[in-house]
Structure 1
Amino acid sequence: MLIGDVARRSGVSARMLRHYEALGLVRPTGRTDSGYREYSADDVRRIFHIESLRSLGLSLRDVGRALDDPGFKPSELVDDLIGRTRERIAAETELLARLNRIGAADPAGWEDVLQVVTLLQALGSKSALTRQRAALSAVEEVPVPVEALVEAVLNESDPIVAGALRWALAQSGGDGPALVAEGLGSARAEVRERAVRTLAELPDDTAGALLRDALAHPDVTVRRYAALALGARGVTDAVPTLIDMIADGRHDTDAADALAALAADPAQADRIATGLVDRLTRAGAGSLGRRRLTEALADIPGDVPSHALADLAHDEDRAVALTATYILGLRGARG
């Protein structure tokens, strides 16, 4: 079979077949009387093998090793190819995301494109100060797509920069809350925490609904931050989680302040007081937890907490009894 026939049947150009020959990958079995290359069926089969291996991303050098080296271990090369392919996909995915962000900024000219690119690079800088300046510029100078701000805030470890990014995101509007909420599903605990803390600083109704959903999140840290944010917004759905936080000693002072603010509504004061008392008398609260719950009753107005404190003044736990007695004295003085 002549080189032209082989090229037509294999889809490999005659030029590439000559290149393979120069590299020693495939050699024609013979020559015709006129000196033309002549390929056998085995030669053609080897060409197909070469093309198959190249389709996996192997270099021509590796193809030669795979076909001719008896000690060649394909598993090692395949593992290496998998790693390189993943790196390439990650790089291409990052490029695609960047291009989408530039497109979303709706640049009017190349100067706008360069400004957005510069700002995106600054958001990914190793310098915290540079990232902070970029966050401020995203609002004051160069409009940046919400997706870029969300990615930056979910990956930001510096608390000062994170605060600037959350502020910038709050000013940007759009689909920010929904995009941030996707971070609640991250496998990384720190990303989930950043997501809920960011939602807590977004003012719109969408963020509030997402925070309500977060009260049922399997991550207790997410539930706690959601409860604090909702309590500050006057959402009573947060009450059970806030009470648990006091009992567990996790952000208990902030949780008690949130409950006190919610209890300013007379319709909620008795419900909150009852919840505190129920949690206080539940098995497993522990001495310190019961004392913290007793202290939380101090800022809840109404008769229900007063009656509960009167009972607690005779509690078997001396620390609880003394705390309740002291609080009753303060309430009496105020009354």
Structure 2
Amino acid sequence: MPKEDTNTTRALRGLENGSASVRLQAVLAAGTAPDPRFVDKLVERCAVEPDFYVRDMLTWALTRHAPSLTVPKLIGELRSERAQARSQALHTLSKIGDRRAWPAITRALLTDADDEVARTAWRAAVVLVPEGEESELAAALATQLGRGERETQLSLSRALIALGAVVTPILRAAMADPDPGVRRHAIATERLSRNPDAGFEFAIEEAKRIVALGTTGREE
């Protein structure tokens, strides 16, 4: 058996090993010497890998392979019932940056019931959105204002801010939303966009005060 085939077989077997360090080395080998035979197993492993560092390396290894091989497989994972499969596929697609994946970033993913999937979808969408479709994406993201805990809200704020000026009218409209949670999040996002150095905690506390006073916080 040629040495290349032996190395490939060893790496593929290593991906199933019970030791995270062995799996990490196997993924490193798969990324260092890309081979189309790795792609299916790397994608499959993304859905079930429990170790954060190994998952991160899986994404790196997949970015080392041809997008023509990886992108269709990853898009297929977005329909998985397993939340980790969806979130890891979204993360990897954002790192590959191939805009052919854009149509697969559906509203269902942007509003996924799993916070980690939704957050990863927001980040991926901002990376992959075609020029001219930013406003539509911003409007879809704005439907999630007020959702979740601080970490989730910060992820959404960052995604909205990354879309640029198109979010300004959307945030201003949300500042008058009947839901105080939506109003607070919209105000905090607008504050953070104007003063990133202040930090999200400061912005959200300021937003709470503004909502408590019954104003929108808009500066004309």
DSSP-derived class of the 1:216 partner = helix
Determine helix, strand or coil for the equivalent of 1:178.
Answer: helix
SS in 1 for 2:154: helix
Counterpart in 2 of 1:133? 25
Aligned partner of 2:141 in structure 1 is 242
Deviations 1:67-123 (A, max 9, x none): xxxxxxxxxxxxxxxxxxxxxxxxxxxxxxxxxxxxxxxxxx443332221111101
| Aligned equivalents of 2:12, 2:176: Cα separation in 1 | 54
**Alpha-carbon distance, 1:239 to partner:** 1.0
Trace 1:229-268 onto structure 2 (pairs within 5 A).
Answer: 229-233=124-128, 236=134, 237-249=136-148, 251-263=152-164
Paired residues of 1:170 and 1:202 also in contact (CA < 8 A): yes
Given residue 154 of structure 2, which amino acid in structure 1 is its aligned partner? T
Q: Which residue does 2:44 correspond to in 1? A: 151
Instruction: Report if the CA contact (8 A) 2:174-2:182 is conserved.
Output: no
Contact kept in structure 2, 1:259 and 1:272, CA below 8 Å: yes
Deviation by residue 1:146-200 (Cα, 9 ceiling, x = unmatched): 1121112222121110010101101101321111121222222232222222222
Q: Distance in 2 between matches of 1:320 and 1:133?
A: 57
Number of equivalent positions? 196
Larger-gyration structure (1/2): 1
In the TM superposition, 1:1-335 aligns within 5 A as: 109-141=1-33, 143=35, 144-173=37-66, 174-211=68-105, 214-217=106-109, 219-221=112-114, 222-233=117-128, 236=134, 237-249=136-148, 251-263=152-164, 269=165, 271-283=166-178, 285=179, 287-299=180-192, 317-318=211-212, 321=215, 324=217
- Whole-angstrom CA distance in 1 between matches of 2:214 and 2:17: 52
What is the alpha-carbon distance in structure 1 between the residues aligned to residue 85 and residue 2 of structure 2?
34
C-alpha RMSD over aligned residues = 3.0
**Unaligned 5+ runs, structure 1:** 1-108, 264-268, 302-312
Equivalent position amino acid for 1:157 in 2: P
Paired residues of 2:31 and 2:60 also in contact (CA < 8 A): no
Instruction: Note the C-alpha offset of 1:131.
Output: 1.0
**In 2, Cα distance between equivalents of 1:225 and 1:289:** 20
Aligned residue in 2 for 1:103: none
For the structure 1 residues 113 and 220, does the alpha-carbon distance in structure 2 shift closer, same or farther, using more than 3 Å as the test? same
Deviation digits for residues 122-144 of structure 1 (CA, Å, limit 9, x no counterpart): 01111111111111111224634
Q: Is the 8 A contact 1:234 1:262 kept in 2?
A: no
Moved more, 143-152 or 115-124: 143-152
Kept after mapping to 2: 8 A contact 1:228/1:238: no
Q: CA separation of 1:234/1:161 partners in 2, compared to 1, >3 Å: closer, same or farther?
A: same
SS for the counterpart of 1:282 is coil
Q: What one-letter code is carried by the residue in structure 2 that aligns with 1:231?
A: V
Give the gaps of 5 or more residues in structure 2: 195-206
Q: 1:316 Cα shift? A: 8.6
Q: Secondary structure at the match of 2:144?
A: helix
**Mapped partners of 2:72, 2:86: distance in 1:** 14
Report the CA distance between 1:300 and its aligned residue.
5.1
Give the number of the structure with larger relative contact order, counting CA–CA contacts within 8 Å between residues 6 or more apart: 2
Q: How many Å separate the matches in 2 of 1:172 and 1:288? A: 43
TM-aligned CA deviation for residue 233 of structure 1? 4.9
CA–CA separation in structure 2 for the residues paired with 1:142 and 1:225: 26
Query: For the structure 1 residues 142 and 298, does the alpha-carbon distance in structure 2 shift closer, same or farther, using more than 3 Å as the test?
Result: closer
Percent identical across equivalent pairs? 24
One-letter amino acid of the counterpart of residue 135, structure 1: V
Q: What TM-score comes out, normalization by structure 2 length?
A: 0.74
| 1:182-227 residue CA offsets vs partner (Å, 9 max, x unmatched) | 122222223222222222222222233433xx33347344444222
Q: Show CA shifts across 1:36-79 (max 9, x none).
A: xxxxxxxxxxxxxxxxxxxxxxxxxxxxxxxxxxxxxxxxxxxx
